[in-house]
């Protein structure tokens, strides 16, 4: 991979305390910043120039000790029925500072679910699929540990991994949240209905719904941008990925205040969110590992993606390309996809409801086809801007590594290229959506 296609920062970055930051920010007299740049300090933010001048002394190990050994830890419980189908859960073990939230809180949920699965296995209840528990090193340096693992085992993972669950900096307050591939969101939502809320009353779902005044349509979850270890699985290999968490007000992100003391006094006193989070992760993993037919929902996936075509439309309108570029073919392809997915879901539900369930060999054929759906929305040559990003459903925004961008191949053509390139990318994407639909058809045929 050429170096300039990597997300290596070009400007050195150093976190600093609010007291020091204030000395830089407050005196600035340039134009006012956009709303979204305004931070928590008690004055209006402006960009430069000056007049503040400063001398900074930064001590870094990069030059003196440029190479460090890193370790991923990986444990595995072999599945009893479908050992070649793997469910992977992981979280990063390294941190900027003490890292109680980011990412001890995520790591311990991985360890706790591993403990629970191990206890069940010792009791004779092994998971039907293989479950892999990982902690990654060097995430904060650019997702290095997980990316190396994914790249080294690329062919194996592409052949075997059903889904990847990522737990990163996630248990530090009362409010449930989740994000991931649209195919996994219904599973995450279902899990919230069976786990008691850390504050209550009722389940995580009850409290989540109450926080949105009973509006079920407001219970949305995010899509995956960049900035954590799902990237290798999701953006590079097209494996369904996501995670859940509990958040609250903080301000300790990537600082020395992300400590055990902060977590115990403010973030999650009594560690109830930690417990509920680990339970949620265990339910999600349990269903992924044990359901006869994989709980991936491609009707929800198609519906959500279809809604996101509007983002392309607004980009096209902004460029005044309406007469030369249209997304109608993409909408039609996603409609066809969603229709097949709905029919498949109905067939799956009735197959699962039948006495005796689905026999192992048939389930395996169905699941093998289901596993292809999102993989078929990748392309070997990747995005024009970043060949490593092979998935065409979502990518990190080129201009903001934490933000997400839907249909990146088309979106970037609209943003950075011309109408002809945008049309070419649309044709390519429609083709791949149709191939993904063909995988759903294969799954439906295998189920008959």
Among 28, 100, 103, 410, the residue binding Zn ion under the rule CB under 5 A is 103
* Residue 258 sits in the site that holds Zn ion (CB under 5 A): no
Q: Which is nearer to Zn ion, 102 or 374 (CB)?
A: 102
Give the SS3 label for residue 128.
coil
In the complex, the smallest distance separating the C-beta of residue 233 from Zn ion, rounded to whole angstroms, is 16
State in Å, rounded, how far the first CA of the chain is from the last one. 43
Q: What pairs with residue 222 in β-bridges? A: 179
| Residue 55 to residue 24: CA distance in whole angstroms | 11
* Residue 168 sits in the site that holds Zn ion (CB under 5 A): yes
In the complex, the smallest distance separating the C-beta of residue 95 from Zn ion, rounded to whole angstroms, is 7
Q: Which is nearer to Zn ion, 104 or 426 (CB)?
A: 104
In the complex, the smallest distance separating the C-beta of residue 6 from Zn ion, rounded to whole angstroms, is 19
Among 90, 169, 243, 267, the residue binding Zn ion under the rule CB under 5 A is 169
How many residues interact with Zn ion (rule CB under 5 A)? 4
Q: Which is nearer to Zn ion, 202 or 401 (CB)?
A: 401
Among 25, 88, 91, 102, the residue binding Zn ion under the rule CB under 5 A is 102
| Residue 298 to residue 368: CA distance in whole angstroms | 15
Provide DSSP, 182-239: TTTHHHHHHHHTSSB-SS-SSBHHHHHHHHTTT-GGG---BPP-SSSTHHIIIIIT--
298: preceding bond cis by omega (within 30 degrees): no
| Residue 282 to residue 288: CA distance in whole angstroms | 10
428, 330 in Cβ contact below 8 A?
Answer: no
Torsion region of 260: left, alpha or beta (phi above 0 gives left; psi -120 to 50 gives alpha): alpha
The bridge status of strand 394-397 relative to strand 82-92 is unpaired
Range in contact with Zn ion (rule: CB under 5 A) among 141-149, 169-177, 270-278, 384-392: 169-177
Q: Which is nearer to Zn ion, 86 or 136 (CB)?
A: 136
In the complex, the smallest distance separating the C-beta of residue 222 from Zn ion, rounded to whole angstroms, is 15
Q: Which is nearer to Zn ion, 168 or 304 (CB)?
A: 168
Q: Which is nearer to Zn ion, 95 or 114 (CB)?
A: 95
Q: What pairs with residue 89 in β-bridges? A: 133, 165
Torsion over CA of 332, 335, 336 and 338, rounded to 10 degrees?
A: 160
Helical segments of 296-359, H only: 298-318, 328-353
Range in contact with Zn ion (rule: CB under 5 A) among 107-115, 160-168, 181-189, 438-446: 160-168
Range in contact with Zn ion (rule: CB under 5 A) among 49-57, 100-108, 334-342, 417-425: 100-108
Q: Which is nearer to Zn ion, 130 or 231 (CB)?
A: 231
Nearest-CB residue for Zn ion: 102
In the complex, the smallest distance separating the C-beta of residue 253 from Zn ion, rounded to whole angstroms, is 9
Q: Which is nearer to Zn ion, 145 or 302 (CB)?
A: 145
Q: Which residues sit at the interface with Zn ion, rule CB under 5 A? A: 102-103, 168-169
């Amino acid at each position: 991979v050429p170096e300039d296609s990597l997300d290596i920062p070009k400007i050195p970055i150093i976190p600093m305390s609010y007291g020091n930051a204030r000395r830089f920010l407050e005196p600035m007299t340039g134009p006012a910043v956009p709303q979204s740049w305004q931070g928590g300090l008690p004055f209006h933010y402006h960009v430069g120039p000056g007049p503040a001048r400063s001398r900074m002394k930064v001590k870094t190990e990069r030059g003196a000790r440029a190479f460090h050994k890193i370790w991923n830890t990986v444990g595995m419980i072999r599945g009893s029925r479908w050992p070649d189908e793997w469910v992977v859960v992981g979280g990063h073990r390294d941190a900027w500072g003490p890292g109680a939230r980011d990412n001890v809180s995520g790591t311990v949920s991985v360890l706790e679910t591993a403990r629970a699965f191990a206890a069940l296995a010792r009791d004779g209840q092994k998971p039907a699929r293989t479950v892999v528990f990982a902690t990654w090193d060097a995430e904060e340096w650019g997702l290095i540990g997980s990316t190396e693992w994914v790249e080294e085992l690329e062919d194996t993972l592409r052949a075997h991994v059903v889904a990847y669950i990522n737990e990163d900096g996630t248990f530090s307050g009362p409010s449930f949240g989740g994000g991931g591939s649209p195919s996994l969101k219904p599973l995450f939502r279902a899990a919230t209905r069976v786990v008691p809320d850390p504050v209550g009353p009722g389940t995580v779902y009850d409290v989540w719904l109450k926080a949105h005044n009973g509006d079920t349509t407001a219970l949305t979850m995010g899509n995956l941008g960049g900035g954590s270890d799902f990237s290798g699985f999701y953006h590079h290999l097209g494996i369904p990925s996501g995670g859940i968490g509990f958040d609250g007000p903080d301000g300790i992100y990537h600082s020395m205040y992300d400590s055990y003391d902060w977590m115990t006094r403010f973030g999650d006193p009594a560690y109830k969110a930690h417990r509920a989070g680990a339970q949620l992760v265990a339910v999600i993993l349990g269903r992924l590992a044990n359901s006869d037919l994989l709980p991936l929902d491609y009707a929800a996936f198609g519906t959500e993606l279809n809604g996101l075509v509007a983002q392309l439309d607004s980009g096209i309108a902004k460029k005044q390309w309406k007469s030369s570029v249209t997304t109608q073919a993409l909408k039609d392809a996603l409609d066809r996809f969603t229709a097949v997915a709905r029919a498949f879901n109905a067939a799956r539900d009735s197959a699962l409801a039948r006495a005796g369930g689905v026999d192992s060999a048939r389930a395996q054929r169905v699941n093998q086809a289901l596993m292809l759906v999102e993989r078929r929305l990748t392309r070997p040559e990747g995005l024009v801007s970043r060949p490593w990003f092979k998935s065409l459903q979502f990518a990190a925004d080129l201009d903001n590594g934490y933000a997400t961008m839907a249909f990146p191949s088309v979106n970037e053509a609209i943003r950075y290229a011309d109408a002809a390139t945008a049309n070419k990318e649309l044709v390519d994407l429609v083709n791949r959506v149709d191939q993904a639909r063909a995988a759903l058809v294969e799954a439906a045929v295998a189920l008959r």
